[in-house]
Each structure stands twice: as structure tokens, then as C-alpha cells.
Amino acid sequence: MGFDFDVIQRSWSYLFLEGMTFTVTLTLLAMTGGIIFGTLLAMMRLSAFKPLSAAAGAYVNLMRSVPLVLVIFWFFFLVPYIGAWITGASQPVKVGAWMSAVITFTMFEAAYYCEIMRAGIQSIPRGQVWAGYALGLNYWQSMGQIVLPQAFRNMLPILLTQTIILFQDTSLVYVISATDFLGAASKVANRDYRLVEMYTFVAVVYFIISYGLSTVVKRLQDRIAIIR
């Protein structure tokens, strides 16, 4: 049997300009949205107002108990109905794989980022918040100016590690036939019947990027570690 690695060169621009761009953009959007939404969830979970913390806790536990593939399916079918509900349309709105993927990953990763930020917030000595209140700051000021900056810094390596996992997990949009890096490769592989070459290449590319990023995170971890 012969291998034909030319197929990679022939489909290079499709793989990277279309596929990898999808993957990277999705990762960055879901990271940004996930960290913002996750931090809000973490603040809700730590709230003294019971219904608020219970609601956030239920959301986080639900997301963390269900496989990502199932969540992707859920949102793929649910988002058109939510869209119809928001816009008041009588028919489910057409959303498409891209929009659906962005919403899914933002909502799903928020649950994981939430748990990281919660641990980060809890790692700050309570006296600092009291000191903030004693200086006359309100809840949002002491959170925004004292607690969150430190929590964020302490948790930065774990937040980035979670982002590398997110980057790898975006490949699961394959199940809704989106054209991310894996989706693009799989379409070429099936068209030209070059599955061995394409999937091996995909694995190598993912490995290089993820390994490279995790090396950077490790360096960063050593550099920003607070000496106590």
C-alpha cells in the first residue's frame, strides 16, 4: 500500500485558512466568554444569597456531569428555539454550526472556568476583603480591585491549561459537521480516501501546538509564582 503525503500540500490552504482559523477563533472566543461568564458564576456561587449560589451551583454541576458531545447536540438543537423565543419568531431560527459552537463552548467552559476562579477567590485571605470594606469600598470595588486581580494571577496557569484542553476539545464540533481543523481534514481524507495520512497529520499538528503551549504555561508558572 502506498502513502500519499502530497494530499496535505494540496489541501494546505483549506486545512489552515479555513479549518485552523475556525478552531483558533472558536478557542479564543470561548476562552474570553467562558472566563468572564465563569468568573460571574464563581461570584454567584460564593454569594451569601442562597438562591443565587444554588442556581449557579446547579448550572455548574449539570454542565460538569454531562459529556461535552451531548452538550454540543443539546445546544445545536436548542439554540434555534432560544433564538425564536428571544426574537419572537414563530419558527426556530436558523443558527448554523459556527454560532452554535461558539455558544456551546462558552456556556460549557464557563462551568470549568468557574470552578477554577472559585478556588482562586477562596485562596485570598478574608482579611483583605474586610480591609477593603473598612476602607469604604463596596462589594464590586473590593472584588474588582482587590480579590479578582490576585485570584486571576494565582490561577493563571490553571486557566491557561484549561484553555489548552478547550483548544483540543473544540475538535468535537466534528459531530455537528462543522469545518474546524479536524473537520476540514476529515472532509479531505474522505474525498481523496487518504485517512491514514490526514489523521496522522492532524494528530501531529495538534500535538505540536498543545505541547508548545503547555511548555509556555510551565515557564510562565515558574516566572509568576509568588514567593511566600
Partner 1 sequence: MGYHWNWKVLLDTEPGGTGTYLQYLIVGLGWTLVTALAAWVIALAIGALVGTLRTTPYPWVVRAGNLYVEIFRNVPLIVQMFLWFFVMPELLPQELGDWIKQMPPPWGSFIPAVLCLGIFTSVRIAEQVRAGINSLPRGQRMAGTALGLTLGQTYRHVVLPQAFRIILPPLTSESMNIIKNSSVALTIGLLELTGRARAMQEFSFRVFEAFATATVIYLLTNLVVVLLMRAIEHKVRVPGLIGSQTVQAGH
Cα diameter, the chain:
76
Set of cell numbers at residue 228 = 511566600
| CB count in 10 Å sphere of residue 176 | 19
> What is the per-residue burial (b if ≥16 Cβ within 10 Å, else e) of 44-73?
bbbeeeeeeeeebeebbeebeeeebeebbe
**Amino acid residing at 144:** G
Out of 211, 218, 224, 225, the only residue in the binding site for partner 1 (CB under 8 A) is 211
Which residue's CB is nearer to partner 1, number 132 or number 170? 170
Set of cell numbers at residue 158 = 490553571
| Interacting residues of 163 by C-beta distance below 8 A, sequence separation 6+ | 27, 31
Residue 88 within binding range of partner 1, rule CB under 8 A: no
Q: What is the DSSP letter of 173?
A: G
Which residue's CB is nearer to partner 1, number 44 or number 158? 158
Out of 35, 44, 101, 116, the only residue in the binding site for partner 1 (CB under 8 A) is 116
Residue 165 within binding range of partner 1, rule CB under 8 A: yes
Out of 21, 47, 200, 221, the only residue in the binding site for partner 1 (CB under 8 A) is 200
Residue 162 within binding range of partner 1, rule CB under 8 A: yes
Out of 8, 26, 172, 178, the only residue in the binding site for partner 1 (CB under 8 A) is 172
HSE toward the beta carbon, residue 166, CA cutoff 13 A: 30
Q: Which residue has the cell 475556525?
A: 22
**Amino acid residing at 50:** K
Residue 69 within binding range of partner 1, rule CB under 8 A: yes
Residue 81 within binding range of partner 1, rule CB under 8 A: yes
Report how far residue 76's alpha carbon sits from residue 70's, in angstroms, rounded to the nearest whole number: 10
CB of 167 to partner 1, least distance (A): 8
Q: Which residues contact partner 1 by CB under 8 A?
A: 1, 62, 65-70, 73-74, 77-78, 81-82, 84-85, 90-92, 112, 115-116, 119, 155, 158, 161-162, 164-166, 168-169, 171-172, 174-175, 182, 186, 195-196, 199-200, 202-203, 206-207, 210-211, 214
